[in-house]
């Protein structure tokens, strides 16, 4: 009998940040919603990961709630895909410890994100920052995920996850599913509006370089108007036109238009008209998300009910994996 059991399992997580960007939306979250029918998905707010850098308690609490509400607002449907807070499922921490003992110091030392972040936060190079990838491996392996939607920057962590899983399977017997990365083709990278050779990032100090999912329409229009382009004044996709390419890519992701259609639409028109249209398209794309977010974030009871439900469903799967792992290692 064909049933849902044959669907591939998908797991992904996002760190809680009050300021998720258009890049997070078009590059990651939108894709999460599109995968819900074809796959058996689970999604988490990676709040345990967040404390590898120092967080202010009240602000962290606020950002965790806000990120959870945003996941629902962009269209993650808790009826289809359990969505939960990582810290509510203790098995994440538990499996992370076990996997730490199957991960080499040298492997973690090679992680480029560790090298970058330890440079950025030189005053707080804590052991959690170093072992962050084993927690991420635990997140994925707990649910026996087949596919993990991630951005380019997380590929190295997924590769490590696969190595840890393969090592464990070889040492004992098949225990973990070996996960594959799933990198969406459309708008995989939204670039900075101020320096289109860099990815759009909320940690960029120049607020004009990024658009938050919750930015007000006027701010969105203004930021796009100020976006860096070039002196050719021709809307076409091409080399040396990173700024225009980026805006075309965003416009395409928001409207569904192909690059040829966009070039035709703006033939003979200047960047002013093009930027106005791009700004408008972003506003219209984000409008329904913002409306849903504003409804959800004020409904505390609804949110709390969903945290609990999501964590229950996740825990049900996670427990089985941890029990299996502990049995194989030799725990009584």
The catalytic site residues sit at 117, 199, 202
Q: Cα–Cα distance between 71 and 48 in angstroms, integer?
A: 17
Backbone angles phi, psi at 291, to 5 degrees: -65, -45
| Choice between 28 and 214, CB closer to ligand LTN | 28
Query: Beta strands of 121-252 (E only): which ranges?
Result: 147-149, 180-182
Query: Could you give the string, one character per residue 20-59, with x where binding to ligand LTN holds by CB under 6 A and - elsewhere?
Result: --------------------------x--x----------
> Does 139 engage in binding with ligand LTN (CB under 6 A)?
yes
> Does 15 engage in binding with ligand LTN (CB under 6 A)?
yes
| Choice between 143 and 293, CB closer to ligand LTN | 143
**Residue at token pair 């927690």:** 135
> Does 203 engage in binding with ligand ATP (CB under 6 A)?
yes
Q: Cα–Cα distance between 189 and 40 in angstroms, integer?
A: 25
- Which partner in ligand ATP, ligand LTN, none is near 23 (CB below 5 to 8 A by kind)? ligand ATP
Backbone angles phi, psi at 12, to 5 degrees: -150, 165
* Nearest residue to 188 (alpha-carbon basis) of 159, 239, 152, 224: 152
> Does 136 engage in binding with ligand LTN (CB under 6 A)?
yes
Q: Shortest Cβ distance from residue 198 to ligand LTN (Å)?
A: 17
- Which partner in ligand LTN, ligand ATP, none is near 140 (CB below 5 to 8 A by kind)? ligand LTN
| Choice between 13 and 213, CB closer to ligand LTN | 13
Position of minimal CB gap to ligand ATP:
151
- Other Cβ atoms less than 10 A from the Cβ of 6: the count is 8
Query: Beta strands of 15-116 (E only): which ranges?
Result: 40-45, 83-85
Q: Cα–Cα distance between 233 and 241 in angstroms, integer?
A: 10
Q: Shortest Cβ distance from residue 180 to ligand ATP (Å)?
A: 15
> Does 190 engage in binding with ligand ATP (CB under 6 A)?
yes
Q: Do residues 85 and 44 make contact, with C-beta atoms less than 8 angstroms apart?
A: yes
- Which partner in ligand ATP, ligand LTN, none is near 49 (CB below 5 to 8 A by kind)? ligand LTN
Rg of the chain's alpha carbons, rounded to an integer?
A: 21
- Which partner in ligand ATP, ligand LTN, none is near 200 (CB below 5 to 8 A by kind)? ligand ATP
First to last CA, the chain: 37
Backbone angles phi, psi at 221, to 5 degrees: -60, -45
Task: Using CB under 6 A, list all residues that contact ligand ATP.
Answer: 14-15, 21, 23-24, 27-28, 150-151, 153-154, 188-190, 199-203
Task: Using CB under 6 A, list all residues that contact ligand LTN.
Answer: 11-15, 46, 49, 136, 139-140, 148, 150, 154
């Amino acid at each position: 009998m064909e049933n849902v059991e044959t669907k591939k399992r998908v797991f992904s997580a996002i760190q809680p940040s009050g300021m998720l960007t258009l890049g997070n939306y078009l590059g990651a979250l939108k894709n999460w919603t599109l995968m819900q029918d074809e796959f058996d998905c689970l999604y988490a707010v990676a709040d345990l990961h967040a404390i590898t850098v120092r967080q202010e308690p009240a602000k962290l609490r606020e950002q965790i709630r806000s990120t959870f509400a945003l996941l629902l607002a962009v269209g993650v449907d808790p009826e289809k895909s359990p969505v939960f807070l990582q810290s509510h499922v203790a098995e994440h921490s538990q499996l992370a410890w076990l996997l730490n003992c199957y991960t080499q110091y040298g492997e973690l030392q090679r992680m480029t994100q560790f090298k970058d972040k330890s440079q950025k936060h030189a005053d707080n190079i804590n052991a959690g920052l170093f072992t962050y990838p084993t927690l991420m491996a635990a997140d994925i392996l707990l649910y026996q995920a087949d596919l993990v939607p991630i951005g380019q920057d997380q590929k190295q962590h997924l590769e490590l996850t696969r190595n840890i899983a393969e090592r464990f399977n070889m040492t004992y017997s098949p225990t973990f599913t070996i996960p594959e990365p799933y990198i969406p083709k459309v708008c995989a990278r939204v670039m900075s509006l101020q320096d289109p050779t860099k990815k759009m990032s909320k940690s960029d100090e120049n607020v004009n370089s990024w658009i938050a999912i919750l930015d007000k329409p006027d701010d969105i229009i203004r930021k796009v108007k100020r976006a860096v382009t070039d002196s050719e004044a021709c809307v076409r996709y091409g080399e040396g036109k990173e700024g225009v390419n980026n805006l075309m890519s965003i416009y395409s992701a928001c409207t569904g238009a192909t690059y040829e259609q966009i070039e035709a639409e703006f033939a003979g028109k200047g960047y002013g008209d093009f930027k106005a249209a791009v700004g408008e398209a972003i506003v219209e794309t984000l409008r329904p998300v913002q409306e849903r977010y504003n409804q959800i974030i004020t409904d505390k009871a609804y949110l709390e009910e969903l945290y609990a439900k999501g964590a229950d469903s996740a825990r049900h799967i996670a427990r089985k994996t941890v029990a299996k792992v502990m049995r194989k290692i030799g725990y009584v």
